[in-house]
């Protein structure tokens, strides 16, 4: 569906002034120009206005600028209406497709009367956040892939899915104004042996006014909530979905993502690097993987802390227990210790091979990935109570964690 069913027919007759703009510069799309999912909407009014004015004859005047401003305002209103319609469709008809994603019948989202208000409120916020979303072309040898990244600092700092950008031979970042920049991976938080955020810090030179996205400052409540995925550069495409679960440490593409957010958004509607925006208008998470065929995101509050650490030291340091283990269901569910590294925190605390770790800091542990996720948030030097089952008896050990650098 077109976001703005209008064109520039009211511009004074002049061949160059009345020619239709290319799709990427317009505030509307013909249905034939839309894909099979999502909604195409240009959400970068400043860039659209600049490009449109640049295409006009030199006689472009204040009247011309006023016309463009009116069109931009209409487009923003249309965006709010479109959001409201998508949200309403999800609340009124669970299971139906709404902007490219399906909804479980038990999902709790804004009620029908609130949907229009949410749509109108989110429109301006999404337009602003959308400007921070950029395209990243990653080349490895003869293979190139396109992902997304989001601005985190005006001086050209971006955060991107590490699995896609780490080890690239070439990275080209395209901003909303169409300018290309060479990108460099400064640091990453990625590991196949320990839990990580799956994020990398990418820098581009020569930029001082990169739009920045506001990250949610605290963990989600754990309840299902609205999630609007911005899945194209400039935020020019969105899909309405929801966060299904939070706090799951999950292995995806050999990467253990800590406290990941599982969504009901199909992975093609929210590709790597897509930004999830919540009903409050801040960034909930960044898509870093998929679970089955649905997008999996690293929470924004984790991303914010990771960015701070990578900027400060170039690495992310987590507590290290010093064991190898395997997930087991018998005699109890937990992690059976197969190896204890000599001199490690576990060895000093008396952990033995054959012990089954069942909790960390009072929180249940049922898998190796979950154990690694629990340790991710424990800094080196901290004392952590670890519950183990040994010969049928449950006891606590309290190791002082060593440091383990990831990235």
Lowest mean pLDDT, pick from 36-40, 202-206, 322-326, 333-337: 36-40
Q: Report the candidate in 121, 150, 152, 303 with the shortest Cα–Cα distance to residue 234.
A: 150
Question: Exposed (0-12), middle (13-18) or buried (19+): which is 306, by Cβ within 10 Å?
Answer: buried
pLDDT of 354 reads: 95
Q: What is the pLDDT of residues 28-82, one digit of tens each?
A: 444 334 333 344 444 444 444 444 344 444 333 333 333 333 333 445 555 566 6
Domain spans in the chain, listed from the N-terminal domain onward: 15-130, 133-204, 225-303, 317-406
User: Do 133-204 and 225-303 agree at the fold level?
Assistant: yes
pLDDT bracket for residue 117 (50, 70, 90): low
pTM reported for the whole predicted model: 0.70
What local confidence, expressed as pLDDT, does residue 219 receive? 77
Q: What was the pLDDT predicted at 147? A: 96
How does pLDDT run across 214-266, given as a tens digit for each residue?
A: 887 777 766 678 888 999 888 888 888 888 888 777 777 767 788 888 999 99
Distance of CA 25 to the CA centre of its chain: 25
Tokens at 14, concatenated? 């002049």
Of 240 and 187, the structure prediction assigns the larger pLDDT to 187
CATH number for the domain formed by residue range(s) 317-406: 2.30.42.10
Domain 133-204 has CATH 2.40.10.10: yes
The fold of 225-303 is: Thrombin, subunit H (2.40.10)
What distance lies between CA 156 and its chain's CA centroid? 18
State the DSSP code for 211: -
Q: How far apart are CA 275 and CA 216, in angstroms?
A: 12
- Res 144: pLDDT: 94
- Distance of alpha carbon 269 from alpha carbon 301, whole angstroms: 23
Per-residue pLDDT, 284: 93
């Amino acid at each position: 569906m077109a976001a703005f069913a209008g064109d520039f027919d009211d511009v004074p007759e002049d061949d160059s002034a009345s020619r239709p703009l290319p799709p990427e510069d317009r505030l509307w799309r013909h249905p034939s120009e839309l894909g099979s999912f999502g909604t195409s909407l240009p959400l970068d009014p400043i860039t659209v206005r600049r490009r449109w004015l640049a295409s006009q004859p030199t006689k472009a005047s204040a009247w011309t600028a006023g016309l463009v401003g009116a069109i931009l305002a209409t487009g923003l209103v249309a965006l709010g209406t479109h959001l409201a319609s998508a949200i309403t469709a999800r609340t009124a008809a669970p299971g139906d497709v709404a902007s490219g994603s399906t909804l479980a019948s038990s999902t709790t989202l804004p009620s029908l009367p609130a949907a229009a208000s949410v749509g109108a409120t989110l429109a301006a916020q999404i337009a602003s956040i959308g400007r921070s979303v950029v395209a990243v072309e990653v080349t490895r040898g003869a293979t190139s892939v396109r992902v997304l990244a989001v601005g985190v600092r005006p001086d050209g700092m971006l955060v991107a899915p590490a699995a896609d950008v780490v080890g690239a031979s070439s990275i080209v970042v395209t901003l909303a104004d169409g300018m290309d920049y060479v990108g460099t991976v400064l640091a990453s938080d990625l590991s196949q042996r320990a839990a990580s955020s799956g994020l990398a810090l990418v820098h581009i030179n020569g930029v001082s006014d990169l739009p920045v996205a506001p990250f949610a400052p605290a963990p989600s409540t754990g309840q299902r909530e609205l999630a609007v995925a911005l899945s194209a550069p400039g935020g020019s495409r969105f899909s309405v979905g929801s966060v299904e679960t939070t706090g799951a440490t999950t292995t995806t593409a050999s990467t253990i993502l800590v406290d990941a957010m599982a969504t009901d958004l199909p992975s093609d509607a929210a590709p790597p690097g897509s930004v999830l925006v919540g009903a409050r208008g801040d960034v909930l998470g960044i898509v870093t993987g998929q679970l089955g065929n649905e997008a999996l995101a690293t929470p924004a509050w984790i991303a914010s802390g990771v960015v701070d650490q990578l900027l400060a030291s170039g690495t992310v340091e987590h507590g290290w227990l010093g064991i190898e283990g395997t997930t087991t269901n018998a005699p109890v569910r937990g992690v059976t210790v197969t190896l204890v590294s000599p001199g490690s925190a576990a060895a000093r605390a008396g952990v033995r091979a054959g012990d089954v770790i069942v909790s960390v800091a009072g929180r249940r542990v049922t898998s190796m990935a979950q154990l690694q996720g629990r340790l991710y948030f424990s800094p080196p030097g901290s004392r952590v109570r670890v519950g183990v089952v040994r010969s049928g008896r449950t006891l606590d050990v309290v190791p002082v964690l060593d440091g383990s650098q990831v990235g």
